């Protein structure tokens, strides 16, 4: 049941979206970046978390480089948030025009052509929401798996926003039933898999040389369904356009299902790490990626909480 605080939070969010909608696209995106930068300085919201994690991932960087990337990551989050809020106002042709056309789209197209459905694993890098809309704009039915938000009013609004942007929503609580159905229909199923969340079946795999709790879902569903897996996202280029990054993730079956799932998790996490190394300022460093330590038995250890 929604509370008064939920209603106030929702009202504030809708007001912000309405103000962004009164601006041109470029001005709205720039405003999002400037507002988010305030979270870095002077407000300092999660600044220590961001800087600490960047420094740990790139130990050869000096403090100034860490600060530059940290501030840029806040700005990228602001741009991404503004763009995601305004995505429903764009036509498919407009979404396609935002990309440079030189990415790895053929990797996804070939996987989808097999007709068995495709699992797209993504992370919080670049603009993952725009990447989903781009897939839809290119004519592929896509369904994205999401976690319910604690604010039910805002959760319904966010679901509506994503669906108007072309991405059908699968609540994680309904994933076991709906993901196989979507794959049998030949749809793309997108899953964000770079945050270890309480209650989610996970495996500890290396991420920047340290064990990180990582969702197993994409590997589990891929091996159960026999569908291809690709890693994908959209990264911003210096000129303002985006590029689709897509890379196939090998699925190897040895007869040991648990070990095979772990191997898939490690492979798509390795792809994400390469992308983060290439575009560190576009990664969401705000989540405590290495907060949980693996239980005894790493690297084959698993966790559900």
pLDDT in tens, 94-122: 999 999 988 899 999 999 999 999 999 99
Token pair, residue 119, equals: 């699992």
Question: In 3-state terms, what secondary structure has residue 182?
Answer: helix
Task: Report the distance separating Cα 214 and Cα 155, nearest Å.
Answer: 24
Question: In 3-state terms, what secondary structure has residue 214?
Answer: strand
Question: Which sequence spans correspond to the domains of the chain?
Answer: 7-89, 94-282
Token pair, residue 236, equals: 């911003």
Helix, strand and coil percent figures for the chain, each rounded to 5: 50, 15, 30
228, pLDDT greater than 50: yes
Token pair, residue 180, equals: 């196989």
Report residue 89's pLDDT band, with 50, 70 and 90 as the boundaries: very high
Note if the bond before 299 is cis, omega within 30 degrees.
Answer: yes
* Mean pLDDT rounded to a whole number for the chain: 92
pLDDT in tens, 31-56: 999 999 999 999 999 999 999 999 99
Q: What's the burial of 82, exposed, middle or buried (CB within 10 Å: 0-12/13-18/19+)?
A: buried
295, pLDDT greater than 80: no
Q: Which residues contact residue 73 at a Cβ distance below 8 angstroms, ignoring those fewer than 6 apart?
A: 50, 54, 280, 281, 282, 283, 284, 285, 286
Mean pLDDT of 249-276: 96
300, pLDDT greater than 70: no
Query: What pLDDT, on a 0 to 100 scale, did the predictor assign at position 132?
Result: 97
Query: What pLDDT, on a 0 to 100 scale, did the predictor assign at position 304?
Result: 47
Mean pLDDT of 227-232: 97
C-alpha 186, offset from chain centre: 22
Q: Are 218 and 229 in contact (CB under 8 A)?
A: yes
Residue 179 to residues 147, 192, 220, Cα–Cα distance (Å)? 14, 14, 11
Query: What pLDDT, on a 0 to 100 scale, did the predictor assign at position 76?
Result: 96
Q: Which residues contact residue 198 at a Cβ distance below 8 angstroms, ignoring those fewer than 6 apart?
A: 305
Query: What pLDDT, on a 0 to 100 scale, did the predictor assign at position 297?
Result: 55
Percent of the chain with pLDDT over 90: 79
Q: Which residue has the higher pLDDT, 91 or 305?
A: 91
At which residue do the structure tokens 């008064």 appear?
4
For residue 125, how many other CB atoms are within 10 A of its CB?
25
305, pLDDT greater than 50: no
């Amino acid at each position: 049941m929604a509370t008064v605080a939920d209603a106030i939070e929702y009202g504030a969010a809708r007001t912000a979206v309405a103000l962004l909608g009164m601006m041109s696209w470029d001005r709205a995106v720039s405003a999002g970046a400037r507002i988010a930068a305030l979270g870095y300085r002077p407000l300092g919201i999660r600044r220590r978390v961001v800087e600490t994690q960047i420094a740990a991932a790139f130990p050869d960087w000096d403090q100034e480089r860490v600060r530059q990337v940290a501030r840029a990551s806040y700005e990228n989050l602001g741009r991404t948030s503004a763009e995601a809020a305004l995505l429903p106002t764009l036509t498919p042709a407009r979404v396609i025009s935002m990309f440079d056309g030189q990415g790895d789209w053929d990797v996804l197209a070939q996987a989808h052509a097999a007709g068995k459905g495709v699992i797209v694993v993504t992370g919080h890098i670049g603009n993952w929401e725009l990447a989903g809309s781009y897939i839809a704009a290119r004519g592929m039915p896509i369904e994205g798996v999401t976690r319910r938000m604690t604010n039910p009013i805002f959760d319904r609004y966010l679901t509506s926003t994503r669906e108007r942007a072309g991405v059908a929503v699968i609540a994680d609580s309904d994933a076991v039933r709906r993901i196989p159905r979507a794959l049998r229909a030949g749809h793309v199923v997108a899953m964000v898999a770079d945050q270890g969340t309480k209650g989610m079946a996970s495996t500890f795999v290396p991420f920047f040389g340290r064990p990180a709790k990582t969702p197993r879902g994409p590997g589990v569903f891929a091996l159960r369904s026999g569908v291809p897996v690709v890693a994908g996202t959209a990264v911003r280029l210096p000129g303002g356009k985006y590029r689709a990054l897509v890379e196939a993730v090998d699925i190897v079956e040895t007869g040991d299902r648990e070990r095979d799932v772990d191997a898939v998790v490690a492979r798509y996490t390795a792809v994400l790490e390469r992308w983060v190394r290439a575009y560190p300022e576009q990664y969401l460093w705000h989540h405590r990626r290495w907060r949980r330590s693996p239980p005894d038995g790493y690297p084959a250890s698993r966790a559900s909480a």
